[in-house]
Chain A
Amino acid sequence: MTAKPQPVRKRKHSRLPLLAQAGPVSAWMILFVTIPLLYIIYISFMTRGTFGGVEHEFSITSYQTLLDVTYFKVIEKSFRAAVITTLLCLLLGYPFAYYIARKPADVASRLIMLIMIPFWTNSLMRLNAWMLLFQTNGPVNNLLLALGWIDAPKMFIYSDWLVMLGLVTNMLPFAVLPMYSSIEKLKKSLLEASADLGARPAKTFMRVTLPLTFPGIFSAIILTFIPALGIYTITDMLGGGKVLYIGNIIKNQFGAIRNWPLGAALSVLLLLITALLIFIYTRFARIEDMEVL
């Protein structure tokens, strides 16, 4: 009786539940994500109109502009900042995540909640707070002067350094949470087994803990690096218009400068980088780890 499967005779299941449940979300995603993104790719290959706007004439001018020194420098700068931010977030965040993950479950969830609370305040106000701290005649400078570590107040504000601080402090939770989630899933019995087999704590960490928590680390990288690349509010607030990253440039193309194709091209660049990272991720990790959110 191992013939080919007979035609499936199914009960008459109504399609309504499927449409009602998966329908709206699918429609929304296609309408407001897929189509706009496709359109922006299209726009990036168009020419800039004389008064702003777009002429529907194919050209790769915008992409060529990206190779122009000034733009290229900005892109490179953003990249460097994003990389450093991500590294710092990983280095600072992992021990923190580990610390919390070792605590009993109820304590841990409260500790996590404690991390989240500051982020319920308006992010811009918090950035402004950093500004106030590092003002020329602000507390930090005054403290440093009083301690005699500097002779004259340092110009912290509007510096790359401050922007970096803003980036790291804003991105840290996005790094800590996925890493925490991954570390928390690590079964204690594995560490015990490693110790039982003769490995000292450092060795166990390198050969068991780190590899097994890699999915969390990778999630942290994605959730830190990509936003760091694209954000402009931090540079806006803390950089005062002097520090320009990719995000700022993109925004400006849609504001005063009105060079849509260029803005689109930069956006496409960001999209490509994102896609590349995701591709690497899906090759080496499991997609469920994204749901650490």
Chain B
Amino acid sequence: MKALADAIVKLLHVDKWFGNNHVVKDLNLEIQEGEFLTLLGPSGCGKTTTLRMIAGFEDATGGSIEVQGERIEDKEPYQRDVNTVFQNYSLFPHMTVFDNVAYGPSIRKEPKAEIKKRVTEMLELVQMSGYEKRKPEALSGGQKQRVAIARALINNPRVLLLDEPLGALDLKLRKQMQIELKRLQRKLRITFVYVTHDQEEAMTMSDRIAVMRDGVILQLGHPMDIYDHPTSRFVADFIGESNVFEGVVKAVNGELLTVETASGMAETQGSGFSVGEELYVSIRPEYLSISREPVTGFDLPARVKDFIYMGTVVKTSLDLADGKEIKYSRFEADATLREGETVYVHWDTHKSVAIKKEAEVEAS
């Protein structure tokens, strides 16, 4: 963990109201220099608003925003040392690719020869050399995207803001661009602040993810961290797939909790819980174990419902005793499982997560 002094962007107690809507609530976030940080969340969670406040297109109602130690809330967008890649690219339709990319430098009145050199460099960087004279309308989505990136990066911003830039691309292209963007970021070592609602995308690209909901950051951390140790039900649900049980702690044995759920007795690792406390237990589909016989420890009886073949994995749906449906996934179909069969579900208690019932836990 880097020292706090390295934080290049600091959001301190940032608040944003739209009329009577409290869209961003007392947000605190420190973004490290050179990191790829993603703001992830469903529509309306405030992630885009937050990004726009950093860029300068929205005024924060309260709190302060610092870039490299300088407060910037009172600065116009053109006075800030950050650049944005917009959702729909926002390339100037009446200018060629060259003029688009050269825009920033030309505003700063850099010498023409210098501009030409840098534009050529930039286009090469995003693999769009040769497209200088084209107009945006003659480009494909992926090409427009690259030009938009070049146009932003040519200004050597300390921070690059990306507002769901891959949303309009088809799946294959999107995955390709995700890798390209990540490589680019690594190579240039610029801080990327990325906004998306696609959790797979966030997991693929980010150094750290801030999961947002209703204007607050629910959890901030490295992708694997968030995946393996969600601190709220929402995060457990939102990131990847999860089976979530509601239950009551029946016994505490060191870090091993015995939990009574509507589907039966289960066990999980967890600390800080007391007997009688209500909680959630979350277990990923890939961490379930299925057996034909009851096992020691605990097990939940279940009936096999149906199978979905997804190419890479097979997802099996099972109905538990109380009717709750859970998902089990593995890489190959278990040829022995039959529909309607009764089996027993259990898991490694270290793989399941005990989650406190106060859903909103802010990142510290």
| Chain A positions near chain B (C-beta within 8 angstroms) | 1-2, 5-6, 8-12
Contacts and interface: CB of A to CB of B under 8 A. Distances in A.
A11 B22 contact: no
A12 B22 contact: no
Contacts of B15: 6
B30 interface: no
7 closest residue pairs by CB, A with B: A5-B17, A1-B25, A6-B62, A1-B26, A10-B59, A11-B74, A11-B59
B163 interface: no
Given A2-B22, A5-B20, A5-B22, A11 B61 contact: no
Contacts of B59: 8-11
A8 B19 CA distance: 10
A6 B15 CA distance: 9
A202 to B, nearest CB: 41
Contacts of A12: 74
B218 to A, nearest CB: 14
User: Do most interface residues of chain A lie in helix, strand or loop, or is the interface mixed?
Assistant: loop
A8 B17 contact: yes
Nearest to A10: B59
Contacts of A6: 15, 17, 61-62
Nearest to B15: A6
Interface string B1-43: 0000000000000010100101001100000000000000000
B62 A9 contact: yes
A105 to B, nearest CB: 16
Contacts of A9: 59-62
B110 interface: no
A8 B59 CA distance: 9
Contacts of B60: 9
B124 interface: no
Contacts of A8: 17, 59, 61
17 contacts: A1-B22, A1-B26, A5-B17, A5-B20, A6-B17, A6-B61, A8-B17, A8-B59, A8-B61, A9-B59, A9-B61, A10-B59, A11-B59, A11-B74, A11-B75, A11-B76, A12-B74
A6 B59 CA distance: 13
A177 B20 CA distance: 42
Contacts of A11: 59, 73-76
Contacts of B73: 11
**In the complex, which of the residues A1, A5, A11 has the most CB atoms of chain B within 10 Å of its own CB atom?**
A5
Given A6-B17, A9-B62, A11-B74, 12 more contacts: A1-B25, A1-B26, A5-B17, A5-B20, A5-B22, A6-B61, A6-B62, A9-B60, A10-B59, A11-B73, A11-B75, A12-B74
Interface string B44-72: 00000000000000011110000000000
A12 B59 CA distance: 11
B38 to A, nearest CB: 24
Interface in B71-117: 73-76
A1 B215 CA distance: 11
A11 B61 CA distance: 10
A6 B25 CA distance: 12
